[in-house]
Structure 1
Amino acid sequence: MTPRPKRDREPAERLPVARVCVDVPLPHLDRTFDYRVPSDLDVKAWPGTRVKVRFSGQLVDGWLLDRVEDTAHEGRLSWLEKVVSAEPVLDPQVLRAAREIADRYAGGLADVLRLAVPPRQAKVEAEPAPPAPEGLVPEPPHEGWQRYPAGEAFLRALGAGRAPRAVWSALPGEQWPDRIAEAVAATLHAGRGAVVVVPDARDLERLDTALTALLGPDRHVALAAALGPTERYRRFLRARRGQVAAVVGTRSAAFAPVADLGLVVIWDDGDDLHAEPRSPYPHARQVLLTRAQQQDAAVLVGGFARTAEAQLLLATGWAKEIAANRDQLRRYAPVVQPADDNQLARDPAAASARLPSAAWLAARDALAAGAPVLVQVPRRGYVPAVSCQECRERARCAHCAGPLALGSANGVATCRWCARPAAGWACPACGGRRLRAAVTGVRRTAEELGRALPGVPVRTSGRDAVLASVPAEAALVLATPGAEPVAEGGYGAVLLLDAWALLTRADLRATEEAARRWFNAAALARPAGRGGKVVVVADSGLATVQALVRWDPAWLAERELGERRELGFPPAARMATLTGQAEAVNDLLDLAKLPDGVQVLGPLPVGEDEERMLLRTGRGGGLALAKALHDAAGVRSLRKAAHPVRIQLDPHEL
């Protein structure tokens, strides 16, 4: 049918005005615009659909958010040009959460919707919908949660349709995918939906397997970027159409459109993969907490370690703790032993393998018992940093001043920034030409341990190739943090090397991040009753080491939160960072009508041409600060300012 010419178009008889969010990433356009709905699009143009509208003389994409009877606009309204798809992919509850997230992070609604709804795949919308499974999910078993004093009560509350909120400290060796699957099953048994977010694809695969085993097929979908756009959109539509009641996935799944949301879960919320790298940089934890608050849903924040943000939920009484008592901990935890780096100097044999005697003995005993040994090495590569053999000055590239690194034992040092080889390198301080390892990577460590323990298989897991699991046999498994494979039956020993590399990071979360990586690795060890041992090469007097020895992540999180309160850092306060050229940052600050009580700290250099300003306010002033910065960014956008400023609220890294 030929479309009617625009001049002959007639407005829809009912609700003739459409309120549209145009998909234009400019801060000064972060509002709705009214358009006239023609009668020929009346049936398809409903809230939640994708549309095209004429904006500044161009045809742009947009979201139809609402239909109303009249408009406050005094001029003539433009027509709605096209309904891209009659599929209402934008759920009203997701829209509500997206608006609050945009306001919290000083962003635009269009930017958040771009994160929340995947790109359209027309052929998927035309596919016949598979039948939804019939009947309710049976009540799940409670045995796994009975090991926690408050665990079974939490599960029963979910099964009764209530909305408990909890922070869960998982036991060492806990099969956490099974526990989360049971919580999801209890929620579905009550007739409500669930959304679960995990850090990466390996965790998602484990959880997907556990849910399929407990719920049966076609009861849930797993969303991840690795699926590809077609399959991802197909699974997204199944959730939007109400064909499944549970969605699991990585950070973008936090916006999944689940009907009658009854439970949100985030596992290992301290992982930086939960922080969105695209504007406005929301954290998956905050997205889930916002949705839970808006929709009266239950909350489960779980992990082997605990973040200061999770501890704040407990401190304010917003959530309750689910943790095992000390008797259960003694039953399931491995023995944790600190070993000072100074032991290497007193033990030449151990020094050749970079292992203190305590770590060496633990590895030898585990291998003799036929168990695998996990060695966590914080640095990837072979030798990621080298220095002068004579004066110990860090070796840098003569062209760009980048750090030099070695890729193999007989290789030539190359620059990690510009990749230029440095075959003729000479130390600018002393003229020396010999290099030594300043930092040892996982591949070099694997080489050294392989020579020290001949005949023992050596496996590596890291950036280039991440192992999901290893068999229960004697082997050395070297992994970078976050890439530790699961061992069948657990590891006989877990060795945590180069603790200084984690603890000395110039970041607010250095202590918290070191603890998270250590607890996650140590949780893969066998219980002490089966010979499991963890050796951390660090000073035993450090609070992080003491928390690991006692297996007390709650104590460390409470201590960390207390220090953040004293220093005035998130989550005890709200903080914004402004990053850009000095002139642009100062311009934005001049335009921003900052609320009373906002402290301006800085500037801090972050590059050759950029600086960073920090803005701090109390927790209650976060929304006002975000609005002031967003409005100032809108003014600069309207003026077409030449240099951008990156605005981040409560960034994961400071």
Structure 2
Amino acid sequence: MSSPATPRTARTGGSPARRPARNRGEWTAAAAMPVARVAVDVPLPHLDRPFDYRVPSHLDDAAVPGVRVRVRFAGRMLDGYLLERVEDSAHGGKLAWVDKVVSAEPVLTPEVAGLARAVADRYAGVFADVLRLAIPARHARVESETPRERTVPEPAAPGRAGWETYPRGGALLDALAGGRAAHAVWQPVPGEDWAARLAEAAAACRTAGRSALLVVPDQRDVDRLHAACAAQLGDDAVVALSADLGPAERYRRWLAVRRGSVRVVVGTRSAAFAPLGELGLLAVWDDGDDSHSEPRAPYPQVRDVLVLRAHREGAAVLVAGFARTAEAQLLVESGWAQAVVADRATVRARAPRVTAIGESDTQLVRDPAARAARVPGVAFEAARTALAAGRPVLVQVPRSGYLPFLACASCREAARCRHCAGPLGLPRPGPGGARGDDGSSGLPSCRWCGRVETSFRCGNCASRRLRAGVIGAGRTAEELGRAFPGVPVRTSGGGVAVLDDVEAGPALVVATPGAEPVAEGGYGAALLLDGWAMLARPDLRVAEETLRRWFAAAAGVVPHGDGGRVVVVADSSIPTVQALVRWDPAWHAEGELAERAEVGFPPAVRMAAVEGPPAAVAEICDAVLDPDRDPPEGVELLGPVEIDPVERPGGTGPDRDDVRERGLLRVPRRSGRRLAAALHDAQALRTARKAPETVRVRLDPDEID
């Protein structure tokens, strides 16, 4: 046995083998391309740039572009991504070393890196924040696994019958099959199997040898679209990417995409960054759904991410949904995209009959059995006819819960708690619990502090009587069960499990917006209750969002020729209601965009919402408006105004230390890029001097109330 001090020799020669350097003092730089540009995981705007590091010779082979690395930054060991290797650095001082290559897997492709930079620039964000959205967390065990063999059949041309319902549908399929970068906004006809049509578009793209990326709002839509793509292309040809998979399985599937084993991806919003090469199609379903907006900085919207990606990679874009957003309408009116819609005769033949009943009308004609269910007589009759025909009936209720809030029965002023001024509501009665005359527990309680109100008196008119402000899904289901004895009542959403589908046959399905299950064979009728409550919300997009919810529910109803009825409880003179009655989402989107342009709101302009403590908001807004800093052309400040006041116990008003303000900065669309850059620079100035207050900056926010 040799002494520990005896050097080992190579098997093929007598010279000692070189011992790897164990400390940085012994490290030597790589012979070629010794400088690595690294995106360090630092979410600070003033450090939003790559940093140069030396690559040691023992990491030369592993340090390739795209790998995860560990580097020392400001005295701490941080994660990062190696962007590229170069010969020289512009940094005049001594470079630190790349300490470690975490994994030999190059997870950051040049295309995704470029897209992440473009998204950060558009939304006044930080590159590191976008990379967290784009690349899932590493699982070492998954990386070391042997990938399973995938049997992917040769892609075949899809059927054309479904798309030929639309005059431009066939041309869209031809463009995808020819590898051309078509841009389209598609409105399916009522009852359309939208998942099958998107799967056919992906199949046409695959026949051209290109990949397809399809993004949908939620897991139910992922499951439906994944099944359609698997039926069209084969199980191994497509993967689904969503947070519901769990970190290990999600990373396993993501690696299959990164390694080129799968060329079709279906997923939720983070899938917009999926590392697909040779992209041929980027599609988003229901682009107005708020699930497509990322709740983390820099708050990108899927539709805009896909449009940016299409510009960079020369891919086709398909924006689809039963409704049309103002942003999609802008794409059409600008000429960037073509509208793919059916002719009016086809739409009328496929649509159910829609009837609007105003709130005052609901008091005129009521079936005696409908009175207890607070359902207009017309709606009650439509439901009874559909149930008699053996079809389920969908009842859409805009609020979850039992009685979400109460109001004075005399003056209709919202009922408030005497202790904290919070809203009063009625909980669902428990088993065997006491009930009032209306079937409720009879004991209103505060939704903020929980105190039970035993002797209500209205502060406006001194009345002691209460009425329901909005009926929740739970209470509606209970009342309908009494109005239709013997008919099963099922609920979806609103605090209970969301149903994916319901079987054919008579049943009442009470669902909150977005939780409507698919009915086998279609619904016989849909009752859209409390439309006034949906339209009364103080939100920029309230009309657009309400119509989107209505179309999503009504699209599941059978055509009027088969007896399909939709009854919406809202004033028929409102344009949003008229768009549903006429089934004309394009007309509504055109008017919505025109109104936004008239008042100066997105997407007609670019707008930024700056929210935070008053001093911090003022500092950022002043920096953007500073004439010495070349402000964006046409920039205008709205506000700031106070938002989200925090009440002290007892309703004594907000604590000044907790007050938050919001300022709105808007510019013409041509100045949008400059506005984003100015906001980024303003935030960089604050983080450079370590300002303690947190400020949230959102470009083109979905909600402005």
Bin the TM-score by the shorter chain. Answer: over 0.9
Distance 1:352 1:595, change over 3 A: same
> What is the rounded CA distance, in whole Å, between the counterparts of 1:235 and 1:413 in structure 2?
50
Listed as ranges, the gaps of 5+ residues in structure 2 are 1-18, 429-439, 646-658
- Residue in structure 2 matching 1:548, options 565, 573, 580: 580
In 1: Cα distance, 2:686 partner to 2:525 partner: 57
Mapped partners of 1:393, 1:549: distance in 2: 32
Match of 2:605 in 1: 573
CA distance in structure 2 between the partners assigned to 1:218 and 1:326 by the alignment: 39
Alignment pair present for 1:616 and 2:638 = no
1:64 and 1:425, CA in 2 relative to 1: closer, same or farther beyond 3 A? farther
Q: Which has the larger radius of gyration?
A: 2
State the Cα deviation string for residues 388-415 of structure 1 (Å, max 9, x = none).
4455432233444332221222164333
Task: Map residues 390-401 of structure 1 onto 2, 5 A cutoff.
Answer: 391-401=411-421
SS of the residue corresponding to residue 113 of structure 1 reads helix
Q: Which residue of 1 aligns with 2:300?
A: 282
Task: Tell me the amino acid that sits aligned with residue 209 of structure 1.
Answer: A
1:590 aligns with 2:622: yes
- How many pairs align? 654
Q: 1:79, CA displacement in angstroms?
A: 0.4
Hey, what's the Cα distance between the residues in 1 that align with 2:553 and 2:274? Answer: 30
- Paired with 2:52 and 2:514, the residues of 1 have a C-alpha distance of 48
Per the alignment, do residues 22 and 423 of structure 1 end up closer, same or farther by CA in structure 2, a change over 3 Å counting? farther
Q: Distance in 1 between matches of 2:620 and 2:356?
A: 49
Counterpart CA distance in 2 for 1:252 and 1:416 is: 35
Distance 2:413 2:542 in 1: 25
Matched, 1:370 2:390: yes
Aligned counterpart in structure 2 of residue 601 of structure 1, from 634, 638, 647: 638
1:425 Cα deviation after fit? 5.4
The correspondence for 1:92, drawn from 97, 106, 110, is 110
1:257 aligns with 2:288: no
* Structure 1 residues 445-496: Cα deviation after superposition (integer angstroms, max 9, x where no partner): 1111111111111111113211111111111111111000110111101111
The match for 1:501 is 533
| Conservation of the 8 A alpha-carbon contact between 2:20 and 2:58 | no
- 2:466 corresponding residue in structure 1: 435
Task: Determine the C-alpha separation between the residues in 2 that align with 1:224 and 1:424.
Answer: 50
Which residue in 1 is equivalent to 2:676? Answer: 626
> Is structure 2 residue 386 aligned with structure 1 residue 356?
no
Equivalent position SS for 2:236 = coil
Q: 3-state SS of the aligned residue for 2:539?
A: coil
SS in 1 for 2:527: strand
Name the residue aligned to 2:698.
Answer: 648
> TM-score normalised to the size of structure 2?
0.91
User: What are the residue-to-residue correspondences of 1:519-530 with 2, within 5 Å?
Assistant: 519-530=551-562
Instruction: Please list, as runs of the form range in 1=range in 2, the aligned pairs for 1:16-27 lying within 5 A after superposition.
Output: 16-27=34-45
Which amino acid in 1 is paired with 2:698? Answer: Q
433-442 or 529-538, which deviates more: 433-442
Shift >6 Å, 4+ stretches: none
Tell me if the contact between 1:343 and 1:357 (Cα under 8 Å) persists in the aligned partners. no
Counterpart amino acid of residue 473 in structure 2: V
Residues 152 and 237, structure 2, Cα contact 8 Å, conserved in 1: no
Using the TM superposition, name which of 324-333 and 555-564 deviates more.
Answer: 324-333
Residue identity over aligned pairs, in percent, reads: 59
Structure 2 CA distance, aligned partners of 1:486 and 1:134?
30
2:416 is aligned with 1:385: no
* 1:635 aligns with one of 674, 681, 685: 685
3-state SS in 1 of match to 2:102: strand
CA deviations 1:616-644 (Å, max 9, x no partner) are: 10111011001101111011011111211
Q: Is the 8 A contact 1:600 1:614 kept in 2?
A: yes
Task: Name the residue aligned to 1:444.
Answer: 475
1:39-88 CA deviation, whole Å, 9 max, x = no partner? Answer: 11111111111111101100011111111110000011000111111101
Q: TM-score, normalised by structure 1?
A: 0.97
Mapping of 1:75-154 within 5 angstroms? Answer: 75-134=93-152, 136-154=154-172
Q: Using the alignment, how far apart are the partners of 1:417 and 1:88 within structure 2?
A: 50
Q: Which 10-residue stretch deviates more, 3-12 or 467-476?
A: 3-12
- Deviation of the 1:536 alpha carbon: 1.0
Q: Return the alpha-carbon distance in structure 1 between the equivalents of residues 418 and 31 of structure 2.
A: 73
Residue equivalent to 1:459: 490
Deviation at residue 567 of structure 1 after TM alignment: 1.1
Output aligned runs, 1:179-190, within 5 Å.
Answer: 179-190=197-208
After TM superposition, the structure 1 = structure 2 runs for residues 223-262 of structure 1, keeping only pairs within 5 Å, are 223-262=241-280
Cα deviations by residue, 1:497-524 (Å, 9 ceiling, x for unpaired):
1111111111111110111011111100
Q: How does 1:463-542 map to 2 (within 5 A)?
A: 463=494, 464-542=496-574
Deviates more, 1:333-342 or 1:615-624: 333-342
Contact 1:345 1:351 in 2 (8 A): no
Higher mean displacement: 339-348 or 66-75: 339-348
